[in-house]
Amino acid sequence: MSNYFNGKGTYMNKEYAQIFSNVLDEKQIKINEPMSRHTTFGIGGPADCFLVPKTAEELCVVSKLAHRNHIPVFILGGGANLLVRDKGIRGVVIFTGRLHKIEQSGNLLKVSSGVSTAQAAQAAYERGLSGMEFASGIPGTIGGAAYMNAGAYGGEMSKIIVSATTCDARGDLITYDSRDIGYSYRHSLFMENGEAIVDITLSLKPGNKKDIRALMDDLNHRRRTKQPLEKRSAGSTFKRPSGHFVGQMIEELGLKGYAVGDAQVSEKHAGFLINNGHASCEDMLHLIHDVQQKVKENYGVDLHTEVQIVGEE
């Protein structure tokens, strides 16, 4: 293909679109798509090429084409634990949010990666299955929750996932048993191998629908009263260090409301950093660094981000 590279050595964005146009229609391919539209932070520069496959088959084909053409790939779910840099993402972003099937087999629930975590919890409730209640208020998709082993209120995805199917760079489907996923606190094998999660299978337990609903309502009430759900954030910004509570340390340092531009420590819950309007990634990174530095100086604790930071520096 002529003119395959531009002067900066990266693929020309229109050439990207041409590569995938035989698989996806024009509505499924977006050029220079602002990532701020696709993250709960509302922050992020443009993706060179943003692809929206609607089926697992399309996902596998575009993955294979990207690999064959040496195009960098970033897999995007609900954008709920993500901070994208202001220069955006080079290569292609493959959005899995249109993969949207839920199938039941006894106590097993097979859920496509693009289903929201809240919708998966609701589907479990409707089928009288217990075990997903903790996740009913976790933002983003079930694929993203499985990717980072999301958890809340004593529950964790690793405790209910029995298998996961992924698509690798060559476009092949691979099924992993839960024991092979390498789950630990906010970590999984998928963070290392770069494979796209296609679906997961959850092992749940029969329960009383009234009890399931009551627990979901209680946990969501706690979230609404304690977390800044009315603001744009990526959830808890930092991982929990052993023996410490992040929000408590930040609050004790008097940092509630501390801001860099429109990036701010939530006044409602100090463990949440929020976009209070038009924060840039640079603002948020500056704020993250300031909080990390002050906690280190006063407590001797290193805070590590739970939020994934991606994009061109």
Q: Spell out the residues 6+ positions from residue 17 whose beta carbon is closer than 8 angstroms to its own.
A: 29, 31, 49
Of 186, 188, 195, 233, which one is the catalytic site residue?
Answer: 186
Fill in the DSSP letter of residue 184.
B
Cα 205 to Cα 24, 127, 131, distances in angstroms? 39, 10, 7
Cα torsion through 8, 34, 272, 292, rounded to 10: 10
Measured CA to CA, the distance from residue 177 to residue 161 in angstroms comes to 9
Kindly state the greatest CA–CA separation across the chain.
Answer: 63
Catalytic residue among 188, 233, 236, 280: 236
Can you tell me the distance from the alpha carbon of 246 to that of 296, in angstroms, rounded to the nearest whole number?
12
Report the relative pairing of strands 89-95 and 46-51 from DSSP bridges.
parallel
Q: Which one is catalytic: 15, 33, 156, 306?
A: 306
Residue 98 a catalytic site member: no
Q: For the chain, how big is the Rg over CA atoms in Å?
A: 20
Spell out the alpha helix ranges (H) of the chain. Answer: 13-20, 56-68, 117-126, 142-148, 190-193, 209-226, 246-252, 281-299
Based on the residue annotation, tell me whether 186 is a catalytic residue of this protein.
yes
- CB-CB neighbours of 312 under 10 Å: 14
Catalytic residues: 186, 236, 306
